[in-house]
């Protein structure tokens, strides 16, 4: 489509704001930009490029004339209003987990399976989980180079911004209380997050894994078109404001070499290899924050599994893990 | 031996102080306690039980009449003065990495291979690396239950107290600077540690692993008497003051069941199982701090490897990871 009408649904949230930043920076072509949010935020003015745009209340009628609707709201609202937007003629790009595992909804990381946007019979395209995006950005070039991925074992170090503005506020508040020698109160997370780590992101399921951890297996299989991949993740919240890090062991069909792995990562779009053993170069979450690329380091042969590599990947989960990836999907739809 | 003369070498350091606390709490039997430290600390008075003990300067002549010398100083001093202490008639229990991999020096976690203290021809017994101790405290009961461990993949979340008082000061200082909106300076670690994680503990070796990560493989093989174990670790420093956490995937010779794993952990000395999927019970580093036991949770079948379990273990690395383990070794020598 040419110069579409784009609606940003949840425009005043952390991801919504980042979507606006990405639309601006990337000079995405559109004829009109519509900002939608809850009644609470309606009426707010947001400056975008040389205009001041008013946030409108999100209602079923909001989607008239909209060509692309970028949803960054809870699963519940996505499930309710996504199909309404489609009925009004829009393609929905949804950031929630509402539709991700539906067979007739493509789950897309543009650098990896961008062509899947062509197969969206319901008019809905899903944006993957943030930790999965960061992990697969590094894993995909490697699995292409080494005959496919067979096994994946990952431990994450996830920033509080993954829980939105309230997660950031919780770490800020606890840090401020610590500095003032006052008691640290936990409101958002089940345990103190400042000066602590919490090995739980999302509810724990019957099999002992959390929802977040199961996304790593389920979404990886779908995005890589490889239902046989075995993936085990441990997702941990850490007192970092922004950018998720993942420690990954991946086993491939053929024997990887470090040289070929480096070459594959260096050639991969959206990836920066920051890896030098001698000079102790590797990325930290601070390095990835507010950037578009995922950063990879600590690349080495895994000592425990045959045909495998161990590596460390860091990405800004608000950007590539959410907003940027959604905007890149929109770009695939615009001529 | 009965009522030995015990020397604490490095008595004013973080581990030395904790050794004194453990000797007191555990009512370890001795005839005399000698506190040794560098010239800088000599002359300080330290109260122990109902006495006030003066710290003496550590010199080669310090070991006369000493039966057990607990060394918590750098590798260099251990290498130099450990043999001097032995020549004076002492058994040396060394916390550094100086002797750990020497064939004629047992490397001991009392709950696991306490009997190895009998084979110390050089009069030196080594205390393992802290992350390895915490990991093996949980792994050993499981590998005994399931026919031995074949593979181990671990990602750590290591507290700044692992770097001693200077690591704690670095996180304190950066946190204070953040609260005052001042620039955060990195002096101890190569990157900012407050609100960040650093995927490097100790120098990076030629094979891409750090020294700390290789200890996990090398020391695990020695402690478990199993040179065929394949272990791959990624060791990461996190902004936590005390207690290391480890996310572990372990593959066993036989198929593990969750019930048998729970039973093995519940029966294991020094371990507390804190694991309830339904009520989302699991341990965090804050829970383990200043305690003797290692805490295990998030126990589940690993989805990526056959015959394997995934779990999360947390332990106070100043206590069980260093001081307590050393004192427990001393107890094995005392009638």
pLDDT digits (tens, 9 = 90+) for A172-206: 999 999 999 999 999 999 999 999 999 999 999 99
Does A200 lie at the interface with B, CB-CB under 8 angstroms? Answer: yes
Q: Which residues of A touch B207 (CB under 8 A)?
A: 300-301
Q: Which residues of A touch B232 (CB under 8 A)?
A: 249, 302-305, 310
User: Region A132-155: what's the mean pLDDT?
Assistant: 98
In this structure, the dihedral spanned by the alpha carbons of residues A280, A282, A286 and A291, taken in order and rounded to 10 degrees, is: 140
What mean pLDDT, rounded, does chain B reach?
97
User: Residue B251's closest chain A neighbor by CA?
Assistant: A304
Picking from B176, B196, B199, the nearest residue to A286 by CB comes out as B196
Cross-chain residue pair A153–B284, CB shorter than 8 Å: no
User: Residue B240's closest chain A neighbor by CA?
Assistant: A195
User: Region A219-234: what's the mean pLDDT?
Assistant: 98
Does A230 lie at the interface with B, CB-CB under 8 angstroms? Answer: yes
Q: ipTM, 2 decimals?
A: 0.97
Please name each of the domains of chain B with its CATH number: 5-127+322-334 (3.40.50.720), 132-317 (3.30.360.10)
A81-110 residues touching B, CB cutoff 8 A: none
A286-325 residues touching B, CB cutoff 8 A: 286, 297-305, 310, 312
Query: Are B105 and B99 within 8 A, CB to CB?
Result: yes
Cross-chain residue pair A192–B249, CB shorter than 8 Å: no
User: Region A286-297: what's the mean pLDDT?
Assistant: 97
A49-78 residues touching B, CB cutoff 8 A: none
pTM: 0.97
What was the pLDDT predicted at B183? 96
Q: Which tens digit of pLDDT belongs to each residue from B195-212? A: 999 999 999 999 999 999
Picking from B209, B234, B284, the nearest residue to A247 by CB comes out as B234
Q: Which residues of B touch A299 (CB under 8 A)?
A: 208
Q: Which tens digit of pLDDT belongs to each residue from A151-164? A: 999 999 999 999 98
């Amino acid at each position: 489509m040419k110069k579409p009408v784009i609606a940003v649904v949840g425009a005043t949230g952390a991801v919504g704001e980042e979507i606006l930043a990405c639309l601006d920076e990337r000079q995405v072509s559109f004829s009109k930009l519509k900002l939608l949010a809850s009644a609470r935020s309606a009426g707010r003015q947001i400056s975008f490029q040389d205009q001041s745009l008013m946030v409108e209340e999100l209602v079923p009628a909001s989607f008239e004339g909209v060509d692309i609707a970028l949803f960054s709201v809870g699963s519940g609202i996505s499930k309710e209003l996504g199909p309404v937007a489609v009925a009004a003629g829009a393609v929905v790009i949804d950031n929630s987990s509402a539709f991700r595992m539906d067979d007739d909804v493509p789950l897309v990381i543009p650098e990896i399976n961008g062509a899947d946007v062509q197969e969206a019979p319901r008019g809905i395209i899903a944006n993957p989980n943030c930790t999965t995006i960061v992990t697969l950005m590094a894993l995909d070039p490697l699995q292409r180079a080494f005959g496919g991925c067979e096994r994946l074992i990952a431990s994450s170090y996830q920033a509080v911004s993954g829980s939105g503005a309230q997660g950031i506020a919780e770490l800020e508040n606890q840090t401020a209380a610590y500095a003032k020698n006052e008691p640290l109160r936990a409101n958002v997370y089940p345990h103190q997050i400042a000066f602590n780590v919490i090995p739980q992101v999302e509810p724990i399921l019957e099999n002992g894994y959390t929802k977040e951890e199961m996304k790593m297996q389920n979404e990886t299989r779908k995005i890589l078109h490889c239902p046989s991949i075995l993936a085990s993740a441990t997702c941990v919240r850490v007192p970092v404001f922004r950018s998720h890090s993942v420690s990954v062991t991946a086993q491939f069909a053929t024997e990887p070499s470090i040289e070929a792995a480096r070459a594959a990562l260096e050639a991969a779009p959206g990836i920066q290899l920051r890896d030098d053993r001698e000079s102790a170069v590797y990325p930290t979450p601070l390095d990835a924050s507010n950037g578009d690329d995922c950063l990879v380091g600590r690349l080495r042969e895994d000592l425990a599994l045959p045909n495998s590599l161990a590596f460390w990947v860091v990405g800004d989960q608000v950007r590539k893990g959410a907003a940027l990836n959604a905007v890149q999907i929109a770009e695939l739809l615009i001529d």
